[in-house]
Amino acid sequence: MLFGSSVGKKIAMAATGLILVLFVIVHLIGNTSIFAGPDGINAYAATLHSMGPIVWIFRLVMLGVFLLHIWLGLKLTLENKLARPVGYAQKENLRTSYAAQIMIYSGLVLLLFTIYHLLHFTVRVTNPEISHFVDAAGRLDVYAMVVLSFQKFFITLTYVIAMVFLLLHLSHGIGSMFQSTGLNNARTLPTIQTAGKWIAIVLLVGYIAIPISIFVGMIKL
């Protein structure tokens, strides 16, 4: 059984991680439509909404993948701690990066942020006073909702901090995916790890560019 062994869990962890990384990349590409102005992101959002239940099914599947990824991470972390003597664990920590040591914590922070993000922009209950505008074409005015949200310091700060945790998680996690599946060796590992770090940095810059651009007034109503 896939989840019956440590190797099986690691493979499942890598598979769910890959799915989530791809989603994060696609999600960023969609979000950058805000730089095209109100019509850009409102048209993008309207296209998603026109898919009806398909979008919600996709969201639920992705949430399930995320929860499975978290559960596998918790299980593997607990198993590793129980299997290793305290002295060995301390020596191991000296050889690993800070991002690697806090993987489980950064993952839990991202889970909490995802819940907040869904309540904020999908369910639209955290700031209802700015969540029901429509544009001239009769579409939900996502542009106004996003701009009015990120004009608030606390919301911008929350998103920026969350994306820093995403950077930490992915900077180690992307390389770990290849290690878990055995798709690397001593020669390719440094390249894979470096590529993982650069992907994480690009995603960080891309994601925080939106709230920061709005907060400093580069994007406005």
CATH number of the CATH domain containing 123:
1.20.1300.10
Inside any domain, residue 20: yes
> What is the DSSP code (8-state) at residue 127?
S
Tokens representing residue 197 in the block? 């770090």
Specify if 89 maps to a domain: no
Is 108 part of any domain?
yes
Q: What is the mean pLDDT of the chain?
A: 88
Report if residue 221 sits inside a domain. Answer: no
CB 141 within 8 A of CB 38: yes
Tell me which residue has tokens 């489980």.
104
pLDDT value for 131: 80
Q: Is residue 87 part of a domain?
A: no
| 90 located within any domain | no
Structural domains of the chain, count: 1
In a domain, 143, yes or no: yes
Q: Which two tokens stand for residue 3?
A: 């989840």
- The predicted structure's pLDDT at residue 176: 83
Residue span of the structural domain in which 186 resides:
6-82+97-216
Residue 207 phi, psi dihedral angles, 5° rounding: -70, -40
Give the pLDDT mean for 48-73: 92
Instruction: Give percent above pLDDT 90 in the chain.
Output: 61
62 lies in some domain: yes
pLDDT at 183 over 80: no
pLDDT digits (tens, 9 = 90+) for 104-160: 999 999 999 999 999 999 888 998 888 888 998 899 999 999 999 999 999 999 999
Which of the four pLDDT bands, split at 50, 70 and 90, describes residue 94? very low
Look at residue 95 and tell me whether its pLDDT is greater than 60: no
